[in-house]
Amino acid sequence: MTQYIKKICIFFLCLPFFVSSFTGTSLGAADWPSGPSVQAQGAILMDADTGTVLWGQNIHNQYFPASITKVMTALLVIETCSLDETVTFSHNAVFNVESGSSNAGINEGDKLSVRDCLYALLLKSANESANALAEHVAGSTEAFADMMNVRAKELGCTNTHFSNPSGLNNPEHYTSPYDMALIARAAFNNPIFEDIDSSTFYKLPPNSINKEGLTIYPGHKMMRKSTPFYYPGIIGGKTGYTTLAGNTLITCAEKNGMKLITIILKGSTPQYWTDTKNLLDFGFTNFVSLKAADYEKTYSSITSDLNFSGLSITRPEALILDPDSRIILPKTADFSDAKAELSYDISSGDPPNSIAKINYRYNDRVVGCTFLEVNDALFQNKEAETSIATAPQAETYSGSGEALDPSAAQTSVTPSGKRSEKETEDYREKALRPFEIPLTAWLILGSVGAITVIGCAAAFFIYWKHKEAQDFLIRREQRMKRLRDSGVSADEFNSILEQRRSSYSSKRKRRRGGRFR
């Protein structure tokens, strides 16, 4: 019992110092780089990996998007359809377009695959393809526009409303640079979209108008080496123009492990190409993208420390940092300049094994995040070992030949050699039992002393304040279940983090002179 009291006291006494270690402002962080001059009315430069806004101008103002709308159309179609589905072009799809607007020479009654239609949509900016895809997915262009608006809200857009799938003039069809960057980020993180949009040419199959088929090329001049606007590293993009929208442009480029997105709204010819080049040059020259797991020492040290302050983790390898999460920083900054903020607010879109999220801020600007995750490989290896050691038998015997309690026998396995899902959950629950704290320990805590009582009260408020919302209750249950599965108690986890944070802060002060270049 005294052991439990000791663990609880250590946890609550350390918690105020642990919390304060994540709220201090990083000293000496360099200023955020100043951006270039851009002539377009609305523009933004966003890091595709983290969603960090590196530079912006009127990023929440509303503008007409013109044909860059088709990026949202393509993303929604890809998320909804198989590429091999057949699309039949209706009279409305072919003729409900503005006279002289861009098209791919597709006629009423023609049939193309969804794949062909997407190439026509993104490379040739074909309005009839946009209409036909919308009808194929939703039954009508109006119903598809409703789906576009729902998807935009899911992506975080607050200044966007779509009324058609093509971007033709409509007073109720608008977006903002920031919203369009969110849409483009989702699109370029979709491998199918990126594969199609990065193509430099595509041969459409024969149809009633083009008997030999039609070879199409992207309208984005920065992708084509034959133009003076070519920019090395361009992944893809989409152009747009109407008399009301002016020139609009989406561009995605990648260099040195960094993926950037630019949006130009209400631009002018040919300046919008120059605006885009200046933004990309600014991003690649002044920033660097880092994998958090390669630099984060405060949390990654959990995987190597077995004991601290009387608390023991029997399986430290149960927790790992997400190996792919990145943060973006000015090249003049050090990783330690980014302030880490630990959060247990895990959402449905986060990695499924996450038990905590580490957000990074640089001069009050969010620059990325990473996740502490349960290491599934640990359980897979353990279950494989147990399956091999398990033999089908009716009873388990002790060395003296007496039958043991059936509950002490090995868990049975399925014919495939693996446990059932229920048996696996039972195994993980049993693995946690050594870390369970009896209720009596909490009752005895009240007699520890005034300092401990104050620490408990403060910790209780900090730990439970988010539980006022029902959705957080659900997420917390999921997180705690994953924590139990890992074999690590919450007391052990938080106490070790606190100590390692303090140790790392001391080391960081001694090497403040060093800078990441």
CATH of residue 176's domain is 3.40.710.10
- Catalytic residue, chosen from 7, 67, 129, 291, is 67
Per the annotation, the verdict on 125 as an active-site residue is yes
- Residue 191: phi and psi, rounded to 5, are -65, -30
Whether 272 and 360 map to the same domain: the answer is no
Per the annotation, the verdict on 289 as an active-site residue is no
Domain with 223 in it: 42-288
- Catalytic residue, chosen from 70, 124, 221, 291, is 70
Higher per-residue pLDDT: 372 or 27? 372
At residue 467, the pLDDT reads: 52
- Between CA 25 and CA 500 the distance in angstroms is 18
In a domain, 409, yes or no: no
Whether 278 and 312 map to the same domain: the answer is no
Are 131 and 96 within 8 A, CB to CB?
Answer: yes
- Between CA 76 and CA 447 the distance in angstroms is 60
Whether 331 and 478 map to the same domain: the answer is no
> Among positive and negative, which fits the CA dihedral 386, 392, 397, 403?
positive
Whether 140 and 240 map to the same domain: the answer is yes
The total domain count for the chain is: 3
- The most confident of the ranges 201-215, 297-311, 484-498 is 201-215
- Spell out the residues 6+ positions from residue 17 whose beta carbon is closer than 8 angstroms to its own: 498, 502
Residue ending a domain, choose from 338, 354, 375: 375
Tell me the mean pLDDT in the region 237-245: 95
Residue ending a domain, choose from 226, 259, 288: 288
For 260-301, how does the pLDDT look when each residue is reduced to its tens digit (9 = 90+)? 999 999 999 999 999 999 999 999 999 999 998 888 877 544
For 192-217, how does the pLDDT look when each residue is reduced to its tens digit (9 = 90+)? 999 999 999 999 999 999 999 999 99
In a domain, 216, yes or no: yes
- Catalytic residue, chosen from 7, 102, 124, 125, is 125
In a domain, 32, yes or no: no
> Among positive and negative, which fits the CA dihedral 385, 387, 392, 398?
positive
Least confident of 193-197, 288-292, 403-407, 483-487: 403-407
Instruction: Fill in the DSSP letter of residue 41.
Output: S
Whether 120 and 186 map to the same domain: the answer is yes
pTM of the complete model beyond 0.85: no
In a domain, 206, yes or no: yes
Binding residue per annotation — 238?
Answer: yes
Whether 185 and 302 map to the same domain: the answer is no
Degrees (nearest 5) of the Cα angle 197, 202, 208?
125
Whether 246 and 134 map to the same domain: the answer is yes
At residue 381, the pLDDT reads: 58
Whether 268 and 364 map to the same domain: the answer is no
At residue 508, the pLDDT reads: 56
The pLDDT of residue 77 is above 70: yes
Q: Is 354 helix (H, G, I), strand (E, B) or coil?
A: strand
Are 294 and 368 within 8 A, CB to CB?
Answer: no
Whether 74 and 148 map to the same domain: the answer is yes
Whether 343 and 473 map to the same domain: the answer is no
